[in-house]
Structure 1
Amino acid sequence: MFDLDGTLIRGSAAAVEIARRLGLEAETDELERAFAAGRLTPARFAALAVELWTELTEAQVAAAFEGAPWLAGIREVWSEIRARGERCAVISLSPAFFVERLLDWGADAAYGSRWPAVPFREAVDPAGILDAAAKVRIADELCGRYGLGRADCVAYGDSMSDARLFGVVPVSVAVNADHHVRDIATHAYRGGDLREAYALVAGRG
């Protein structure tokens, strides 16, 4: 199970990459800082971002996705995981319309917050916005779908939103992470290639 912002995307996030396409980096960065400091809930962040990104188009979302600073080797790692008879999923608080594009890269499942359709003409429904607890709930749902348990899982993440998930699975990898998860992870990786991070656990059995 892979986080997106700061994990698969190194040093950036879906919101940051989208804001760059809109020329709204400073305004969105202010929201990001408030969220990281705990002054905004995920739902409030989404609501404010939707109000800010009124001109967002599907073409800009696609460009933000393609231009993001992805770790190298993502497709190769997911191909190897599936070749081993295992499954790979992305669980992120970022908009589902961004996260779900990773299904084309080989993820078995991709979960993100349900924002309004682009271009935004509706307000955010708070019930569709994921939080840290939702990552655990979705992980459990995926385990049920595939006949697995938490003991079969490996989590990759970088920040506080991943801490709860790290706390319920036996193996975790902190990827370019802050102390919130680096201090509780089974393994830690700093670099730009997911194949190297995956190698820390690929031979676990």
Structure 2
Amino acid sequence: MPFAHPVIVFDLDGTLIRNTTVSLLLAEGVGRLPAVEELERLYDSYAIDNDTFSDREAALLAGLTPEQIRGFLADAPWTAGVEETLRTLTEGGCTLLLATLAWGFAVEELEHRPWFSAVGAADMEYVDGALSGRVDRYFDEQGKLDFVRAWCAERGVPLDQVAAVGDSRSDLRLFAGVGTSVALNASADARAAADHVLDTEDLRDLLPLLRTRTA
């Protein structure tokens, strides 16, 4: 049975990577874990916005090189079945996109980056081979929807042909804008906004939901 949507958009933190975030993995590697844990707590409690989070974290990660980043992310805890799931979707004719609040420079160093045709993410510039500590591109929940909308518009793909998979409030606008949404191991607000809710430790359990179209 073919997949119902030709384009599938995935979130990263909490969706493809379980029980941590790219920010925390980088912070642990550079010895700044408590500081970034506090930033995540402030963001989750709405005490700071996404741009403020990005500015403060960028300063903490200044000086990192691509080689260091790759090493810090080498043992990222991917959700079980991620390789098989991404391969099955791709071989089934789907185009995969990644829309994440994580850093784009980090995504480029991840093991499974090649499966994704395009990535929407925040970013930081490199200067002389190391992170500058200054945000080059901000990316928030509206940015996820804008990224997918722009990618689809360039290719003549209607948004109702897109399915989105995510787990948190940063996915709500995207969920509302696409044809089908799946809340995977998700927060209460994401579960309430999604067409499908799935709790699993194996991403392959997602595949049957992506074979059906929401009425």
Q: TM-score, normalised by structure 1?
A: 0.90
Q: How many residues align?
A: 203
* Equivalences for residues 48-197 of structure 1 within 5 A: 48-101=56-109, 104-117=113-126, 119-125=130-136, 128-197=137-206
- Whether the 8 Å contact between 1:75 and 1:105 is mirrored in structure 2 is no
Of Structure 1 and Structure 2, the greater strand share is in 2
Q: Find runs of 4+ consecutive structure 1 residues off by over 6 angstroms.
A: none
SS of the residue aligned with 1:154? Answer: strand
Q: 2:3 — aligned with what? A: none
- Whether the 8 Å contact between 1:99 and 1:111 is mirrored in structure 2 is no
* Gapped regions of structure 1 (runs ≥ 5): none
Sequence identity (%): 31
Amino acid at match of 1:202: R
Amino acid at match of 1:119: A
Distance in 1 (alpha carbons) for counterparts of 2:146 and 2:78: 26
Q: 2:208 — aligned with what? A: 199
Post-superposition Cα deviations, 1:3-53, rounded to whole Å, max 9, x if no partner, equal: 111111112111011111112211110011111122222221111112222
Stretch moving more, 30-39 or 55-64:
55-64
* Gapped regions of structure 2 (runs ≥ 5): 1-8
Q: TM-score, normalised by structure 2?
A: 0.86
- Whether the 8 Å contact between 1:76 and 1:195 is mirrored in structure 2 is yes
- Whether the 8 Å contact between 1:8 and 1:71 is mirrored in structure 2 is yes
Using CA pairs below 8 Å that are at least 6 residues apart, which structure has the higher relative contact order? 2
CA RMSD after TM alignment: 1.9
Q: 2:19 aligns with which of 11, 16, 31?
A: 11
